[in-house]
Amino acid sequence: DAGVTQSPTHLIKTRGQQVTLRCSPKSGHDTVSWYQQALGQGPQFIFQYYEEEERQRGNFPDRFSGHQFPNYSSELNVNALLLGDSALYLCASSWPPGTSEPGELFFGEGSRLTVL
């Protein structure tokens, strides 16, 4: 049973460029959340997708957008990249709301983005 998978694992971009990160949730999970983890910090919630809609959003600008597909996989898009966007981007999946421990997320290994 595959866990949460993310791609690419590492990438380098320059300021002003755009990036798309991809995530496939753990089998049976239909909710996907995205987190940004800067060096030395804890993960910060970006947004959550359920039933192909953005359900909750953290304190991130509109440059951060996402999508969820019918097969529950998800993309995170970041436009107009800034140096400060350099971070590990983590995707997490979970069981449908109300069917499991609310704090139990399964994380992928992340996509490490460097913006030069």
Please report, for the chain, how many H helices and E strands are present, in that order.
Answer: 0, 11
Q: Distance between CA atoms of 10 and 34, rounded to whole angstroms?
A: 16
Applying CB under 8 A, does 19 fall inside the site for other proteins? no
Residues 6+ apart with CB under 8 A from 114: 10, 11, 12, 13, 86
Applying CB under 8 A, does 101 fall inside the site for other proteins? yes
Binding mask 33-72 for other proteins (x = CB under 8 A): x-x----xxxxxx--x-x----xx-x--------------
Q: Distance between CA atoms of 91 and 108, rounded to whole angstroms?
A: 6
Q: Closest distance between other proteins and the C-beta of residue 68, in Å?
A: 12
Applying CB under 8 A, does 94 fall inside the site for other proteins? yes
Q: Closest distance between other proteins and the C-beta of residue 63, in Å?
A: 20
Closer Cβ to other proteins, 24 or 48, answer by number: 48
